[in-house]
Structure 1
């Protein structure tokens, strides 16, 4: 048995970067020392690639591996060497991520979920291996999928993938739906923050010393400049998700699903069907208005249970309601897919409003009379707490449809989770002080060996609580 290193490509890339930026900093130090003084933190940017260089050398020396038809052997350590062995039959999924710089040199990153219940050994990171080696490993662990080592960048962008003979195409995204769904409140806030930062930098640094006068005047005063920046930023918001999911395709064979996406950074995920435990349907505000959904699946792996991203796979991104339910019923016949409606319990809302607004009004009158800032702050805390509880009460719900637990949470970002009752490990009923005053309960459902470890739904009336308990006891 001969173990092998991953590729030393990152070492050479970071070394090249250090060689390139070193004379730039030396030139700036001699010619524009004042610029480095004004931007004192700028010189520390040189430390980032240098630190990355040493980390890449350490990883390359520290990590070796061996893969055959039965097992994966990982050897770690430079002086104190240890080996771990993982059985191929327990491997549940793989995630392949190829940055554009790696694609140029025909390399990629591969993460393999071993299924081991350990934060350290639950996932194996093969950082920077050749595309051919990646294909060899995926074939050995029975997660082959598309052969990325054989197709070009042009083929990937066009979506002309080279797949195994038994694979079939299940779904591809609609470009318009992807672009419209990119307009989220988070992206708009991010844009405003960037504009504020750029404006602050221009105001606080005297760029007149470093830029030609006409360019400085154009940036500082021109309405056209900021109008252009706004239009370009809006266009970027439109294509933000398109860059990631514009060429998304979902494929499958007898045992495994495969998803492929990314124009700049390629992602190829392989996840076995039998290990899918939880299905999530997500919608931001724009997607709710347009009737567009993104479906994600969570693999039944205890590896890194607190990190859902390690086990989460985008399954059907940016898909309309009708085709979404048609596909979900076809792909997951054991699940019952049903939309969870909002329950408007006016009596509960009135009681909650009374509980919060009585002390709020009393404290507000006292604060106005005494002009006390601290009491005003307490009033603000009460008001914010009231709004949070109102949102939780109105926009959360849970139902049991046939053999499936369906929960709904979120107002601006709506999330519906679907889990089989047979996968419930245990459940708990709780009643805190606020819920005691409202005569309601919270239910927490723990899912067996699932990355979505538990589901908690508050403000459940007594009658509905009993109905849920009766259904859960039948499992």
Structure 2
């Protein structure tokens, strides 16, 4: 597949301007509206610096558009870029780990989209980013990447017969239909609104308003209302609470209203957003691990958040795109994992830590508590109770961590659960673990315990550790990993 050398979509210049305005609107309002007539020297200086920054960013945007060129040929991207220093990159389709597509309000207005292709390499140039691209071209690029992978797999499967003189490449099947596994109901959205505490969103808005308009008059009105009676004040508070809940509901719907989790035989797809839509796809074979996390609030409500860990970057802007619906019932989360990834199994019956692990955690010194206590004693001895409260929190967390910690070596899988007030259940295949480590401190030797660690490919590299397992389990863990050679072929 070959395409002529081309520039980025010209709308990318307007999109860069849109992002520039969006990210600097607060500075603009502060400098040019709230301080319109100010003669203070630092305000005037800040205005010129801000204008200079805007001009420089606009010139850089134009320079990037002029110098950035790309072409697709021989199943790879060839990219030339650079304003002051030129660079050339070649990125084969086979290196692409994840595909992310985001359609903001801006993209919807102009009927375009954005496309990000993530590779497993590290660095600023590990991704191919099209901030603005036509939807037809985005679909064409995605299809080209997918077809290249499928053809490679067919060739590899056909090449198993080493005595064949010629390999016939068969066109990949087109009947691989998506299966929708989850879409949130109204009940799920209401539960998500309260679990995420989005109904409290009105509080920071009120405090922000105090910076723009003075609320002294409003506070005086509330004081006068107290003279009329508590019924009026209660009505005001209930009204504010209802408005806050309504705003939180709307915020939750905009964020999670069109959530959809689906899959086919090759990929997992996560679609989210009402105004700003994003679509994230990840190849099942590239998933390094699965994390099931529960915050303290989610543990109380029996909810969980599932993340699919991969080698590529999984963030769109400031949002983690590899997260399945963050407010799944625990049972549904386990079922969803088995539906999306048939090779993965969540085994609820796991090994607990021995009782001696409890005592070693109780006698380990807490350096955070020691430092905090020393600072309190030196600067403010009257706050001695803060040290006591901190000590209670630390030891409560340790007790909960001991009770929650679990582990299991399940054939070619390992499961590790850790956490005190919040917990994380980590599941990965032996074939996806690139390094393991066992450690024993002097204190652990005395109690016949050890720590086990795993390393998986991710951005950044993912390290997981479980403290204070029996030393026999650590030896079994090492032997379990040695058997990895039976599953991984080194070419």
TM bucket (normalised to shorter chain) is 0.7 to 0.9
Partner of 2:474: helix, strand, or coil?
Answer: helix
Give the direction of change, closer, same or farther, for the CA distance of 1:387–1:3 in structure 2 (3 Å limit): farther
In structure 2, list runs of 5 or more residues that go unmatched: 149-173, 226-232, 485-491
Distance 2:464 2:17 in 1: 47
Give the direction of change, closer, same or farther, for the CA distance of 1:130–1:295 in structure 2 (3 Å limit): same
Distance 2:356 2:14 in 1: 67
Would you say 1:93 and 2:98 are equivalent positions? yes
Question: Contact 1:102–1:108 (CA<8 Å) still a contact in 2?
Answer: yes
Give the direction of change, closer, same or farther, for the CA distance of 1:13–1:315 in structure 2 (3 Å limit): closer
Distance 1:110 1:29 in 2: 38
**Which whole-Å deviations, capped at 9, do the CAs of 1:436-474 have from their partners, x for residues lacking one?**
565532211123678662211112233443443443344
| TM-score of the aligned structures, taking structure 1 as reference length | 0.73
Would you say 1:127 and 2:134 are equivalent positions? no
Report the equivalent of 1:138: 142
Report the equivalent of 2:243: 232
Distance 1:189 1:44 in 2: 38
Partner of 1:183: helix, strand, or coil?
Answer: helix
Question: Contact 1:340–1:406 (CA<8 Å) still a contact in 2?
Answer: no
Report the equivalent of 1:468: 477
**Which whole-Å deviations, capped at 9, do the CAs of 1:289-340 have from their partners, x for residues lacking one?**
34333332223x3x56999999962345544444443443344232222126
Q: 1:60 aligns with which of 65, 71, 77?
A: 65
Would you say 1:12 and 2:14 are equivalent positions? yes
Would you say 1:106 and 2:108 are equivalent positions? no
Partner of 1:314: helix, strand, or coil?
Answer: coil
Q: 2:345 aligns with which of 328, 336, 341?
A: 336
1:383 Cα deviation from its structure 2 partner: 5.5
Matches for 1:378-397 after TM superposition, within 5 Å: 385-397=394-406
Distance 1:316 1:37 in 2: 50
Report which stretch shifted further, 396-405 or 246-255: 246-255
Would you say 1:298 and 2:300 are equivalent positions? no
1:420 Cα deviation from its structure 2 partner: 0.9
Give the direction of change, closer, same or farther, for the CA distance of 1:235–1:347 in structure 2 (3 Å limit): farther
1:263 Cα deviation from its structure 2 partner: 0.3
Would you say 1:288 and 2:299 are equivalent positions? yes
Distance 1:239 1:252 in 2: 28
Report the equivalent of 2:433: 424
Distance 2:189 2:49 in 1: 35
Give the direction of change, closer, same or farther, for the CA distance of 1:34–1:129 in structure 2 (3 Å limit): same
1:9 Cα deviation from its structure 2 partner: 2.5
Report the equivalent of 1:440: 449
Would you say 1:180 and 2:191 are equivalent positions? yes
Distance 1:315 1:412 in 2: 22
Question: Contact 2:405–2:419 (CA<8 Å) still a contact in 1?
Answer: yes
Distance 1:325 1:28 in 2: 53
Report the equivalent of 1:160: none
Question: Contact 1:336–1:402 (CA<8 Å) still a contact in 2?
Answer: no
Question: Contact 1:94–1:143 (CA<8 Å) still a contact in 2?
Answer: no
Distance 1:414 1:298 in 2: 17
Partner of 1:135: helix, strand, or coil?
Answer: helix
Matches for 1:309-458 after TM superposition, within 5 Å: 313-315=322-324, 318-339=327-348, 343=352, 346-350=355-359, 352-353=361-362, 372=381, 385-432=394-441, 435=444, 439-447=448-456, 453-458=462-467
Give the direction of change, closer, same or farther, for the CA distance of 1:246–1:36 in structure 2 (3 Å limit): farther
Report the equivalent of 1:76: 81
Question: Contact 1:28–1:36 (CA<8 Å) still a contact in 2?
Answer: no
Superposed CA RMSD in Å reads 4.8
Give the direction of change, closer, same or farther, for the CA distance of 1:72–1:351 in structure 2 (3 Å limit): closer
Distance 1:170 1:221 in 2: 56
In structure 1, list runs of 5 or more residues that go unmatched: 145-163
Question: Contact 1:446–1:455 (CA<8 Å) still a contact in 2?
Answer: yes
Give the direction of change, closer, same or farther, for the CA distance of 1:133–1:46 in structure 2 (3 Å limit): farther
Partner of 1:247: helix, strand, or coil?
Answer: coil
Report the equivalent of 1:253: 264
Distance 1:412 1:181 in 2: 20
Distance 2:214 2:203 in 1: 23
Question: Contact 1:93–1:143 (CA<8 Å) still a contact in 2?
Answer: no
Question: Contact 1:118–1:304 (CA<8 Å) still a contact in 2?
Answer: no
Partner of 2:188: helix, strand, or coil?
Answer: helix
Report the equivalent of 1:150: none
Distance 1:197 1:77 in 2: 41
Distance 1:143 1:262 in 2: 28
Question: Contact 2:434–2:455 (CA<8 Å) still a contact in 1?
Answer: yes
1:84 Cα deviation from its structure 2 partner: 0.9
